[in-house]
């Protein structure tokens, strides 16, 4: 398995390269400047592994939801790299990637509610269950005002910066947010982990299908509850 993953949807700009059992990573948390950092990160990883881009099996990327600029950046870079190298792509939800990070941090957890700050007075959220060590969706991805967050099943853990932006949400949703989990962000390493089964099964998208998923339809105004 030779898989490149990248993510720029949140404050965490990151890239990961899976080569066999080895996982190489680069990360930088910054409010801006992802366009300046992501390509050098990718170049560094390929150089460290002594691999050419065309030698990869696929490229995976965080397709959102997240920052509109960041999600578009990841999709456009993935398209360009994949077109040039003749590679297929895998699109991975950033909410699911964060759920995977949570499950890896707590191997006993079986349910997690991911809630990320969507700005504009809203949050992105989705519920996930563990299935054979991987995070699987237990419902749709949503965006809305914090008060629209629905209660979760008993025993659900909470993860994501929506719980930091709106501290009342944990009690409202009936979830336990372990220490530090309100600061978690998705990473390219988690995106690579979720993309690996897709690559092995040959479920790859053509480069032009590497498109962002915003969830929120309008940049200019928040969606209605």
pLDDT digits (tens, 9 = 90+) for 98-118: 999 999 999 999 999 999 999
- Write down the pLDDT at residue 217: 63
Contact assessment for residue 65 and residue 216, using Cβ atoms and an 8 Å cutoff: yes
| Over residues 94-98, mean pLDDT | 98
Structural domain includes residue 214 = no
Q: Are residues 17 and 63 in the same domain?
A: yes
Residue 52 CB partners (closer than 8 Å, separation 6+): 46
Q: Are residues 70 and 139 in the same domain?
A: no
- Write down the pLDDT at residue 150: 86
CATH number at residue 141: 3.30.420.40
Q: Structurally, how many domains does the chain consist of?
A: 2
- How many residues are there in the chain? 225
Give the predicted TM-score (pTM) of the model.
0.94
Q: Are residues 193 and 154 in the same domain?
A: no
Dist CA 125 CA 65 (whole Å):
9
pLDDT digits (tens, 9 = 90+) for 10-37: 999 999 999 999 999 999 998 888 999 9
Given pLDDT bands bounded at 50, 70 and 90, which one contains residue 220?
A: very low
Return the SS3 of 197: helix
pLDDT digits (tens, 9 = 90+) for 176-196: 999 999 999 999 999 999 999
Range of the domain at 69: 2-93+186-209
Contact assessment for residue 97 and residue 160, using Cβ atoms and an 8 Å cutoff: no
């Amino acid at each position: 398995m030779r898989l490149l993953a990248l993510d720029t949807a949140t404050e965490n700009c990151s890239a990961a390269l899976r080569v066999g059992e080895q996982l190489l990573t680069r990360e930088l948390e910054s409010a801006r400047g992802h366009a300046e950092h992501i390509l050098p990160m990718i170049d560094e990883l390929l150089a460290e592994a002594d691999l050419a881009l065309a030698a990869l099996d696929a490229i995976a990327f965080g397709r959102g939801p997240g920052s509109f600029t960041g999600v578009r950046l990841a999709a456009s870079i993935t398209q360009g790299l994949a077109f040039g190298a003749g590679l297929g792509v895998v699109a991975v939800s950033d909410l699911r990637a964060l759920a995977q990070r949570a499950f890896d941090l707590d191997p006993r957890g079986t349910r997690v509610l991911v809630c990320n700050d969507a700005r504009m007075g809203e949050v992105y959220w989705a519920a996930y269950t563990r299935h054979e060590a991987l995070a699987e969706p237990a419902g749709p991805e949503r965006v809305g005002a914090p008060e629209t967050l629905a209660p979760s099943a008993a025993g659900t853990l909470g993860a994501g910066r929506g719980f930091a932006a709106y501290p009342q949400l944990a009690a409202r949703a009936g979830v336990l947010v372990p220490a530090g989990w309100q600061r978690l962000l998705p990473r390219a390493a988690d995106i690579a982990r979720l993309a690996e089964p897709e690559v092995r099964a040959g479920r790859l998208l053509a480069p032009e299908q590497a498109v962002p998923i915003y969830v929120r339809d309008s940049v200019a105004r928040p969606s209605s509850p």
